[in-house]
Each structure stands twice: as structure tokens, then as C-alpha cells.
């Protein structure tokens, strides 16, 4: 009986060779299955990103159709390290704002900008992490400090480390712009803020939107008016030592208007009131100072606002794919994109050139390559008649004028960098 039991036990056990064989087979299956699994996840994310993109656009369009007197907009936001969000907003009024964010005194050039406020009853739509939308800025629409062109409009103000592509002779061309809504610091001096000092960094916040006409949901391709979108910023300030503080904590008097906007349950009503009130600064006199203070609180310079421009061409893509295609090692680990993170009070939206190691190209070349890759025209080694094209997974969309929906552009893409 004992011998028979031992024989059965030995037949149930695995030999070392059998174990090694099983482990080897499992390793082969994993090696085959993991790439396939990753490809399936990537394909799923790609399909989900396009689906969410269309839902976000249609949500804003339906909002316009349901409002017979107020336009609606799909506004694109990106917070460093997070996901891109499409926020439905409604028009609430018009603000006489400084044309150039550097102009901060009465008598400087001013421009009418329509003001939009997010609709709290409608949830924003988020794309899968890593997927981003860029908007096509037509030639001549971007801010430029070249006095020859004299285009000081404040939208994407120039930066030495985040350039845009220009044609020969430094003449403007179209560029694909990133939603720079979260790349800014607030004022670092929180001890004694004045209305002019508190929002000084706010002009660095900019993005784009698709605007839908009230009642019809149509999109007017000729619409060129800039817009202000109310979006109270994170109530934090970062000084040069990296110390984070709440810059709203010490605000009193007129400066408390910042708190009023940020804490309001019905921001549409509050902003309408602030736009309409004549004696804005409550000094018993209606004068030019009222409009000037209103610009500080609701205009482009305010950190509670984002400067936008209507676009009708959009690009949906994966930021990691773009980074690899243009020679970067990847994306910034903190921001999740090509931009560096904001650390100091004087920082501004900038490309993280450290992603290229010690051989980073100039920022205007980076801008050129971004434009080329998004339109499927980037070549190995740069533009040339014999150089191979680098595959692009970017999807270009042109917003249909009457249907208000994104029409996908094929290989015959009409938008050229």
C-alpha cells in the first residue's frame, strides 16, 4: 500500500523540465499578448477620445439651439498634469477691454470682447488622459510684438521660449495653438495687493473656442471677435522660493470682487451685474475709472479669465505621439505635455526644451514641426523632396457651418501650416 501511494504521488508531481517548459510557454504568451493588449487599449482610447470630442461639441451646440437670444461656445481647457476638458459656456455680455495686456491705463487702445460663463448645470466633457485638442489660428490672429505688423491683440502674447512659426521675412502664417489655461502663476505679493497687481499674471491664460449661434447652432466662419471666458483661477500664488499661498486671503474692499466671482453659486448672474453696473468702484462718481477697474477684474489681465478666439479647425491627437515624432524624449512628467511646469512668479507658458536633451532645436523649428506633424507633412530630417514622411495619428476636423459638427478631414487636408 505504501509503495502504491508513493507511486501515485510521484506521478502527480511536475519534473523540473516540465516546470521550465510551462514557464517558458507562459512567457511567450505574455510577450505576444502584452503588445496586443496595449494596442487594444490604445485603439480604445483613440475611439473614446473622438467620441468624447464629438459629445463635447454637440453639447455646446445644443445649448445654443435651446437659447434663442444667447450664443454658446465649446471652450477648451487644459490643466498641467490633467486631461483636456471641453466646457460649454453661454454669452452674458460685452466688455470694453484693453487690446494689449501691457496697456493698463485709461486712454490706451481698447476693444470690445464678448464675455462667456460656464453653465454649471451641464457637466464638462473630458478626453482620455494624454489626448489633446489644438485649434488652428489663422495667419495674423496671434499676438505679435513686431511693430511692423502691429498686431497687439493679447491672444497668445509672444514668448522667447514658445514661438510660433513665421514665413520668410517674418510674415505671419497659420499655427496650431495649445490650450494654455493653466500655465501661469498668480501675483506673488499677497501682503498688499492693488487691483492692478492682483491679476497681473492673468493675461498668460489663453485658449480657443468654437462659437455657436443662438437658436440655430450654426457656426460663422467669419466670426473673429475675441472672447473672455470667466474661469476663477486656483487661489494660489507661487513665489520665487516655491512657497504657495492663497492670494485671495488678504483681499478687501474693491479687491474682494475676486472673491465674489470665485465663490458665487450663480456666476452668470454675478458677472452680468458686474458688466452692467455703472459705478463699478462704488466711489459715488461714474467716470473712466469705473471702466478701468472693470477691466482689471473681468478683462484679459485678470487671473479669473481666459482670452479666447473663435476657431473652426481643430486637431485631435495624442501628445506623447507628437513629442516622439518631433524628436523629444517624451512629455514633461508634471504637465503631461510639451510645456514645462510653472514654478516662479515670472514664469510663462514655455516649451520644455530639456525634453530634447542637449540638442534641442530652436523653438521656431519646434513650432514648425508641430504644424507639419499635425497636418501629416512632417518628414524625417526636415522638409525635402526625397525625405520620408513621419506617420501622424492626428485627426483634423473642420466645423460644419450649418450642422455645427466636426467634419473629419482626410489626406486632402485643406489646412496647411
Residue-number span of the structural domain to which 254 is assigned:
58-408
Does 36 map to a domain? no
Place of cell 440655430: 216
Q: Which of 205, 163, 176 is nearest to 78 (CA)?
A: 205
Does 208 map to a domain? yes
Does 414 map to a domain? no
User: Would you place residue 63 in the very low, low, confident or very high pLDDT band (cuts 50, 70, 90)?
Assistant: very high
**pLDDT exceeds cutoff 60 at 200:** no
Does 176 map to a domain? yes
Summarize pLDDT for 7-49 with one digit per residue, the tens: 545 556 668 887 888 888 888 877 776 565 455 555 677 899 9
Cα–Cα distance, 415 to 397 (Å, whole number): 10
Does 50 map to a domain? no
Place of cell 487594444: 40
Q: Which of 409, 398, 393, 414 is nearest to 317 (CA)?
A: 393
Does 189 map to a domain? yes
Are 242 and 256 contacting, i.e. CB atoms less than 8 angstroms apart?
no
User: For residue 144, what are the CA distances in angstroms to 134, 165, 185, 356?
Assistant: 20, 12, 22, 27
Of the ranges 75-79, 101-105, 168-172, which one carries the lowest mean pLDDT score?
A: 101-105
Cα–Cα distance, 406 to 400 (Å, whole number): 6
Cell of 171: 510674415
**How many structural domains comprise the chain?**
1
**pLDDT exceeds cutoff 80 at 62:** yes
Q: Given this model, what pLDDT does residue 295 score?
A: 87
Q: Which of 341, 373, 371 is nearest to 355 (CA)?
A: 341
**What residues does 134 pair with on adjacent strands?**
315
Cα–Cα distance, 314 to 292 (Å, whole number): 35
Cell of 142: 496671434
User: Would you place residue 238 in the very low, low, confident or very high pLDDT band (cuts 50, 70, 90)?
Assistant: very low
Q: Which of 179, 178, 181, 185 is nearest to 164 (CA)?
A: 178
In this prediction the pTM is 0.83
Please state the φ and ψ torsions of residue 14, each to the nearest 5 degrees: -95, 145
Does 41 map to a domain? no
Summarize pLDDT for 90-134 with one digit per residue, the tens: 999 999 998 887 775 555 688 999 999 999 999 999 999 999 999
Cα–Cα distance, 417 to 414 (Å, whole number): 10
Cell of 4: 502504491
Are 154 and 100 contacting, i.e. CB atoms less than 8 angstroms apart?
yes
Cα–Cα distance, 374 to 369 (Å, whole number): 8
Cell of 6: 508513493
Does 259 map to a domain? yes
Cell of 265: 453659486
Amino acid at each position: 500500500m505504501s509503495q502504491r501511494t508513493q507511486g501515485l504521488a510521484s506521478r502527480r508531481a511536475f519534473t523540473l523540465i516540465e516546470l521550465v517548459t510551462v514557464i517558458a510557454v507562459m512567457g511567450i504568451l505574455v510577450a505576444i499578448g502584452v503588445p496586443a493588449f496595449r494596442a487594444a487599449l490604445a485603439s480604445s482610447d483613440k475611439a473614446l477620445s473622438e467620441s468624447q470630442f464629438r459629445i463635447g461639441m454637440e453639447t455646446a451646440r445644443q445649448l445654443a439651439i435651446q437659447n434663442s437670444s444667447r450664443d454658446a461656445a465649446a471652450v477648451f481647457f487644459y490643466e498641467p498634469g490633467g486631461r483636456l476638458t471641453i466646457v460649454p459656456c453661454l454669452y452674458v455680455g460685452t466688455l470694453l477691454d484693453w487690446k494689449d495686456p501691457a496697456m493698463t491705463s485709461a486712454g490706451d487702445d481698447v476693444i470690445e470682447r464678448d464675455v462667456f460663463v460656464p453653465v454649471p448645470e451641464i457637466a464638462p466633457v473630458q478626453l482620455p488622459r494624454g489626448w489633446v485638442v489644438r485649434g488652428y489660428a489663422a495667419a495674423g490672429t496671434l499676438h505679435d510684438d513686431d511693430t511692423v505688423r502691429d498686431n497687439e491683440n493679447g491672444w497668445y502674447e509672444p514668448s522667447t521660449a514658445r514661438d510660433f512659426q513665421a514665413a520668410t521675412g517674418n510674415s505671419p502664417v497659420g499655427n496650431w495653438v495649445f490650450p494654455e489655461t493653466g500655465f501661469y502663476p498668480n501675483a506673488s505679493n499677497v501682503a498688499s495687493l492693488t487691483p492692478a497687481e492682483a491679476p497681473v499674471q492673468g493675461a498668460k491664460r489663453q485658449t480657443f473656442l468654437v462659437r455657436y449661434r443662438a437658436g440655430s447652432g450654426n457656426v460663422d466662419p467669419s466670426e473673429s471677435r475675441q472672447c473672455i471666458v470667466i474661469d476663477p483661477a486656483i487661489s494660489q500664488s507661487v513665489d520665487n522660493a516655491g512657497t504657495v499661498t492663497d492670494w485671495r486671503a488678504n483681499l478687501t474692499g474693491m479687491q474682494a470682487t475676486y472673491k465674489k466671482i470665485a465663490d458665487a453659486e450663480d456666476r452668470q448672474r454675478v458677472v452680468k451685474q458686474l458688466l452692467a453696473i455703472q459705478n463699478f468702484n462704488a466711489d459715488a462718481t461714474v467716470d473712466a475709472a469705473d471702466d478701468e477697474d472693470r477691466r482689471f477684474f473681468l478683462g484679459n489681465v485678470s487671473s479669473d479669465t481666459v482670452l479666447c478666439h473663435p476657431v473652426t479647425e481643430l486637431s485631435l491627437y495624442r501628445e506623447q505621439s507628437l513629442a516622439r515624432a518631433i524628436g523629444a524624449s517624451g512629455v514633461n512628467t508634471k504637465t503631461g505635455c510639451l510645456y514645462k511646469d510653472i514654478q516662479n512668479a515670472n514664469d510663462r507658458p514655455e516649451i520644455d526644451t530639456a525634453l530634447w536633451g542637449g540638442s534641442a532645436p530652436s523653438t521656431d523649428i519646434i513650432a514648425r514641426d508641430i504644424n507639419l506633424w499635425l497636418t501629416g507633412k512632417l518628414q524625417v530630417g526636415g522638409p525635402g523632396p526625397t525625405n520620408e514622411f513621419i506617420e501622424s495619428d492626428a485627426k483634423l476636423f473642420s466645423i460644419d457651418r450649418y450642422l455645427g459638427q466636426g467634419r473629419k478631414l482626410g489626406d486632402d487636408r485643406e489646412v496647411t501650416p
